Amino acid sequence: MKGLYLVTPDWDDTDKLLAATEQGLLGGASLLQYRHKTASEDLQQEQASALLALCRRYRVPLIINDHLALCEMLDADGLHVGGTDASVAAVRTLLGKDKIVGASCYGDLELARHSAAAGASYVAFGGFYPSRVKKYAVTTQPDILTRARAELSLPFCVIGGMTVENSKPLVELGADMVAAISSVYAADDQRTAAADFVRLFSS
């Protein structure tokens, strides 16, 4: 797992969401996470189903944020869990060895160690910068990537206010993926915005 990890915004307009996401995928996003914290269950099912079909077309894995039942119902490619969600070990047991399981580890290296031992496919660190979308209780220091790389072998994702400019030093420190919401979805040209992130990993 490497490159741009595209995360959806809280848009209720499914057609708008699909059109913007397709541009992000055309720009080279490697993973897509469906995250809509305020959607009804019906809207979640509608949007996630449509996004899964889109991801299948572009051969990009679809990860569901938090909602294990939705992930299982759709047979999506994996689940991302936060600090207050189901444990990585429980999710891994339920989903099996072939699904992707990601874990938010904030600025906590010990949590990353536990997540890795419990079967996480990747861990996410952050937020590193103020986010327009998510409110983080902690500010993560970049040196966590250096410390984590010294002892953990699974991929790392960085999150929180990511732009092409401010994520570049984190990629240079060893981040395998950059998660972005607004920097792509709020861009005038989503395909170009995504491609700009992807280029961080080609040098």
Is 147 a catalytic site residue?
no
Is 191 a catalytic site residue?
no
CA distance 181 to 7: 5
Phi, psi torsion values for 130, nearest 5 degrees? -60, 135
Give the per-residue pLDDT at 133: 67
Identify the active-site residue in 113, 134, 168, 199: 134
Instruction: Give 180's contacts (C-beta < 8 A, 6+ positions apart).
Output: 4, 5, 6, 7, 162, 167, 197
Give the per-residue pLDDT at 185: 98
Is 40 a catalytic site residue?
no
Kindly list the distances between the CA atom of residue 96 and the CA atoms of 56, 74, 75, 106, in Å, as whole numbers in the listed order: 20, 15, 12, 25
Per-residue pLDDT tens digits for 89-131: 999 999 999 999 999 999 999 999 999 999 999 999 998 987 7
Give the per-residue pLDDT at 76: 98
CA distance 45 to 77: 15
Identify the active-site residue in 30, 92, 99, 104: 104
Residue closest to 122 by CA, chosen among 164, 153, 91, 162: 153
User: Where does 19-162 show beta strands of DSSP type E?
Assistant: 31-34, 62-65, 78-81, 100-106, 122-125, 156-158
Residue 68 has pLDDT above 90, yes or no: yes
- Confidence label for 203 from pLDDT (cuts 50, 70 and 90): low
Decide if 193 contacts 26 (C-beta within 8 A): no
Q: Where are the domains of the chain?
A: 3-201
What integer best gives the mean pLDDT of the chain?
A: 94
Residue 73 has pLDDT above 90, yes or no: yes
CA distance 6 to 98: 21
Q: Does domain 3-201 have CATH number 3.40.50.20?
A: no
Identify the active-site residue in 30, 35, 121, 183: 35
Count the Cβ atoms, other than its own, within 10 Å of residue 199: 15
Kindly list the distances between the CA atom of residue 19 and the CA atoms of 26, 74, 97, 169, in Å, as whole numbers in the listed order: 11, 21, 32, 30
CA distance 131 to 162: 8
Task: Choose between 86 and 116: higher pLDDT.
Answer: 116
Per-residue pLDDT tens digits for 123-180: 999 989 877 666 665 578 999 999 999 999 999 999 999 999 999 999 999 999 999 9
